[in-house]
A = this chain, B = another copy of it.
């Protein structure tokens, strides 16, 4: 098995570029995951291309011989890791073209910027049967290391799509989705006043952390809702607001 001990090795340079650079991910049709739990989830989904690991991790992967593996030294591992304490295992995974599940509720992310919020929202979407997450092209990258980490491995069952949300919403309306937003206006209702129906499909828009939902999307919203909260607080965290609404739609 090949062993790499220098972070200036070209394969490692490419791996780090692939970890950080969205365009390179698209060119190579690959993204990078980190940590044993994520690698095991990717193995289940059969999307692993190459595993990079320290020797101490060899025994942790069942049937290691089925995979293309490259051994790395601890200093290389620390260089690749996006965390302070590397577990010593990484993998490249194929980026599969994903399609909207038109049977299920959908989460739309409009210029979401914080990677922790995006990862947490993907994890909550998986928890509450929102099968597809569509982010505007100017949102944070789905395959950013911190996004991936915040999903806690719950991204592989979800369709992750980047697209123009105006176009997407128009398609969703043709498929009888109701579009839910959180814009405050005269018709905004409190969340607890809304009866969500099991027979209705919903697409929930979560807007940018600072600016909220874009002006051009506002006229496309069918129901705006407001989460009941103390007057002293301006707003909830975007991942919290999105998760509370998804839970209420699902339950």
Contacts and interface: CB of A to CB of B under 8 A. Distances in A.
Interface of A: 116, 120, 123-124, 126-129, 150, 152, 154, 157, 191-192, 227-230, 232-237, 239-240, 243-244, 247, 250-251
Contact of A240 (B235, B239, B251): B239
Contacts of A251: 191-192, 228
A237 B129 contact: no
A191 B250 CA distance: 13
Nearest to A130: B230
- How many identical chains are in the complex? 2
Contact of A124 (B120, B191, B240, B247): B240
A231 to B, nearest CB: 10
Given A116-B116, A233-B126, A227 B240 contact: no
Contact of A244 (B152, B157, B228, B247): B247
A232 B157 contact: yes
Contact of A123 (B154, B237, B244): B237
Contacts of A228: 247, 250-251
Contacts of A227: 127, 247
